[in-house]
Amino acid sequence: MEPRACAAQWTAATEDMTVWTTSQNPHIIRFGLSAVTLPMLDEHKLRVISPDVGGGFGSKIFHYPEEVIIPWIAKEINRPCKWVATRSESFMTDSQGRDHVQNCKMALTSDGIITGLYVELHADMGAYLSSIAPLIPTVICITLFSGLYKNPGIWGETTGTLTNTVPVDAYRGAGRPEASYLVERLVDVAAQELKMDPIEIRRKNFIGKDEFPYQTPVAFLYDSGDYHAMFDKLEENGDYKGMRAAQVKAKEDGRLIGIGVGGSVEASGYGPAATVGALGFYGGMWEHGAIRVHPTGKVSVFTGSQSTGQGHETTFAQIVADKLGVDVADVDVVHGDTDLVTQGMGTYGSRSAAVGGEALSNAANGIRDKLVTLAAHLMEVSEDDLVYDDENGSVQVKGVPDKSKPFAELAFAAYSGHSLPEGMDPGLENAAYYNPGNFTFPSSAHLVQVEVDKDTGEVEIQKYIAVEDCGNVINPMVVEGQILGGIAQGVGQALYEHGIYDDEGQLVTGSMLDYTMPRADNFPMIDSDRIETPSPSNSLGVKGVGEMGSITSPPAVVNAVVDALSDYGVKHIDMPLTSEKIWNIIQTNGG
C-alpha cells in the first residue's frame, strides 16, 4: 500500500519533539525512541502521531531507522525534517515475510486418524533481527501445529538463519499461515496416499464442538468452535459433490481441473500479559480505552488500537454506541496520537476488537454505572429500582418507562454539578485497561476450484468459497472486507508473489514491473459466508478476523493446483506456483 514516511519537528523553547510516522503502534514507537534509540528525548515531551495509515499488514510494526534518524536531524538543525520512501526504497527496505524451509512428516493410522506431527523449520531472519522477528516462526507458529485436529503428539523445532536480505518480520498472519500451510498440505498428502476424500479425512480428526475449551499439545487452549458445522456450510455453499462430479467429466475431456480444500485455526486477540511477558515482549499486549461524554451528550472515544484501514472508526463507534444507547453518529473515535490517547499497544495479531474493543466496552460500563447512580439521586429512588435502556441510553424506573432520565440530560447534570450524590465528582468520562485472560481462536474453511492451462501453465481460479468463524460479528461489511482482502493476499503468496535475490544479494524484484501482485481479473466472485461460535474470552464474544483469509487461502489454492496435476504424479509444488514452474512440471512429466 502506501510507502513508509516520517517527519519530525523539534520545539527548542519547550524541548518538545513531535514525530509523525506510518506506524501500527505509535505508543510503542514512543517508548522505543525515549527508552532505547534516542534516550535524550524524554517520553513525556515526545509526541508520536500516526495518521490514518493506508495499510500496515505487519510490516509497519517494526521500529524503522528513519524514526530515529529524522527526529535526531530535526533536533540537531532545529528545523522540521521529513523523509518519504519511494516505491523502490520500500521494496528494498520494508521488512518482508514468510521465507521458511519446512521439513515435516505426519503419522496416521491406516484409516486416516492423525497420531503425530514432526516439524523442523529453518526461518530466514534477514541480515539483522527486527522487533519481533524470532517470535514469529517459533511461539506464534509452532503453537498452531495442532490446527483443527486432535493430534496427540506434536514436536516442532525452529532454527533461525541470517542471510544478506532485509529483516523478515510480521506479514499478515505472521507465523499462523506458515503453520496452517504445513498442516493442511500434509493432511492433503495423507488423503492422497490413503485414497480418501480430503474433506472426509479432515472430518475424522476434527475437534468436536462439545470438546471446547480444548487443550492442544502445543500450549494453546482453544476457546470455542464448531468445525463440523463450518465444513457443512462449506460443502453446501460450494456444492462440493457437484464440483467433484463436474471435475470427473472435465478430466475426461482432457482439462486439468483441480479442487482444493483448506481449514485453519488462528490465535488472535494478542494477548495475555503474563504469557507474552514470559516470551520477552516488554509491553504485555493489554489495551487501553477511554470514553468522554460531553455536556451535550456527544461522545469522544480514545483507543490505543491504531487504525490502518480496518474500519476501527466504524466498529469502535458501534461498540460504544451500543453500550451507551446513543446514535453511532454521535460517537467520534480518536486514535494514533500519544498526546490524546494515554497509552496503547497498537494493532497487530487480529487484536483490535477482541482487546481494544473490550477495553472500550469496559470503559462504557463505567459510564453506565455513573449514570445510573446519578439518575437514582436525581429521581430519589434506589439504584436497584432502575434499569439502563440500551436502546436510547435513558435510565428508567423498572416497569415504569415514563419515569426516566434521558442520556443528554444526565450528561449535562454530571457536568453542571448542581445536584450530585455525595462523593461523586463532576464530569462524565472513564478509562479502562483490558488484559485478556486468553487468546481468541477464529477458524475458517476454504474450497477452491482451479483450471491449469496445459500449454502455458497458467492457473485460473474458477470458484472460491470461504466460511469463517470469527465469533460474534459487529459489522458484517467490515468483516467481509477483511476476509476478501486476506484471501487476495493469500492467493498472491500461493501463485504470484516472491521476493527474489540474486547470488550477490541484489533484490531483482524491486519494482511493480518485476514483483507480481494479484489483480482483480485473477479472481472470480468470492462466495464468503460465516458461522458464529462466540468466544468466552471477552464479553463481546468476538474473535479476530483480519488475518484469517490470508492464513487459509495458500494451502487451499496449492491443494487445488496439486489436485489438478495429480495425473502427472505431482504430490507437492513449492510456492509460488508460477506458470513457468507449472509448465516445466507438465513438460517434465510427459505433458
pLDDT tens figures, 102-123:
999 999 999 999 999 999 999 9
Three-point CA angle 373, 379, 385, nearest 5°: 65
Residue 34 has pLDDT above 90, yes or no: yes
Torsions phi, psi for 179 (to 5 deg): -70, -45
Percent share of the chain, pLDDT over 70: 99
Do the domain assignments include residue 53? yes
Residues 536 and 405 both lie in one domain: no
| pLDDT > 90? residue 73 | yes
Instruction: Tell whether the model's pLDDT for residue 271 goes beyond 90.
Output: no
What integer pLDDT is reported at residue 591 of this predicted model?
61
Q: Are residues 105 and 254 in the same domain?
A: yes
Residue 225 near residue 265, CB atoms below 8 Å: yes
What mean pLDDT, rounded, does the chain reach? Answer: 95
Based on the domain organization, do 149 and 14 belong to the same domain? no
Same domain (yes/no): 350, 374: yes
Is 217 part of a structural domain of the chain?
no
Residue 48 sits in the same domain as residue 25:
yes
CATH number assigned to the domain comprising residue 359: 3.30.365.10
- Structure confidence by residue, pLDDT tens digits, 231-260: 999 999 999 999 999 999 999 999 999 999
Q: How much is the pLDDT for 279?
A: 73
Q: Tell me the pLDDT band of 1, cut-offs 50, 70 and 90.
A: low
Q: Is residue 201 part of a domain?
A: yes
In this prediction, residue 304 has a pLDDT band, given cuts at 50, 70 and 90, of very high
Res. 276 pLDDT band, cuts 50 70 90: confident
Q: What is the mean pLDDT of residues 151-155?
A: 98
Q: Which of the listed residues 434, 451, 481 is the one where a domain comes to its end?
A: 434
Which of 93, 125, 150 terminates a domain? The answer is: 93
Q: How far is CA 110 from the centre of its chain?
A: 37
The Cα 422–Cα 285 span in angstroms is 37
Q: What pLDDT digit, counting tens, does each position of 199-240 carry? A: 999 999 999 999 999 999 999 999 999 999 999 999 999 999
Whether residue 95 has pLDDT greater than 70: yes
Q: How many helices (H) and strands (E) does the chain have?
A: 15, 20
Is the predicted pLDDT of residue 281 greater than 80, yes or no?
no
Q: Average pLDDT, stretch 466-480?
A: 97
Question: How many domains would you assign to the chain?
Answer: 3
Structural domain includes residue 465: yes
Could you tell me if 37 and 68 are in contact, meaning their C-beta atoms sit under 8 angstroms apart? yes
Residue 282, pLDDT score: 67
Mean pLDDT of 378-402: 95
Print the domain residue range for 262. Answer: 100-208+222-268+440-588
Mean pLDDT of 162-187: 94
Are both 318 and 367 inside the same structural domain? yes
Q: Are 344 and 288 in contact (CB under 8 A)?
A: yes
| Final residue of a structural domain among 392, 408, 434 | 434
pLDDT of the residue at 569: 92
In terms of Cβ atoms closer than 10 Å to its own Cβ (0-12, 13-18, 19+), residue 501 is: middle
| Cut 0.75: pTM above it | yes
In a domain, 510, yes or no: yes
Q: How does residue 69 score in pLDDT terms, banded at 50, 70 and 90?
A: very high
Give the other-Cβ count within 10 Å of 35's Cβ. 12
Judgement on whether residues 528 and 501 belong to the same structural domain of the protein: yes
DSSP letters spanning 25-82: -HHHHHHHIIIII-TTS-GGGEEEE--S-S--TTTTTS--THHHHHHHHHHHHTS-EE
Contact in structure between 541 and 439 (CB atoms under 8 Å): no
Residue 214 lies in a domain: no
Phi/psi at 83 (5° precision): -140, 135
Given this model, what pLDDT does residue 343 score?
Answer: 94
CB atoms under 10 Å from CB of 244, counted, come to 12
User: What's the pLDDT at 305?
Assistant: 94
Please report the pLDDT score of residue 241 as a whole number: 98
> What per-residue confidence (pLDDT) applies to 113?
98
* pLDDT of residue 94 exceeding 90: yes
The predicted-structure confidence for 321-368, as pLDDT tens digits, reads as follows 999 999 999 999 999 999 999 999 999 999 999 999 999 999 999 999
More confident residue, 128 or 259: 259
Are 87 and 144 members of one domain? no
525, 550 Cβ separation under 8 angstroms: no
Residues 143 and 238 in one domain: yes
| Cell 509460488, located at residue | 576
Same domain, 421 and 467: no
- pLDDT band for position 293 (50/70/90)? very high
| CA neighbor of 316 nearest in space, from 329, 303, 325 | 303
Cis peptide before 134 (omega within 30 of 0): no
Q: For residue 132, what pLDDT is reported?
A: 83
Q: Would you call 256 exposed, middle or buried from its count of C-beta atoms within 10 A (0-12, 13-18, 19+)?
A: buried
Based on the fold, state whether residues 473 and 496 are members of the same structural domain: yes
Cβ-Cβ contacts under 8 Å for 295 (sequence gap 6 or more): 411, 412, 414, 415, 416
Confidence grade of residue 24 (pLDDT, cut at 50, 70, 90) = very high
Whether residues 496 and 372 fall in one domain: no
Residue 213 lies in a domain: no
* Residue 352 is assigned to a structural domain of this protein: yes
Taking residues 489-515, what's their average pLDDT? 94
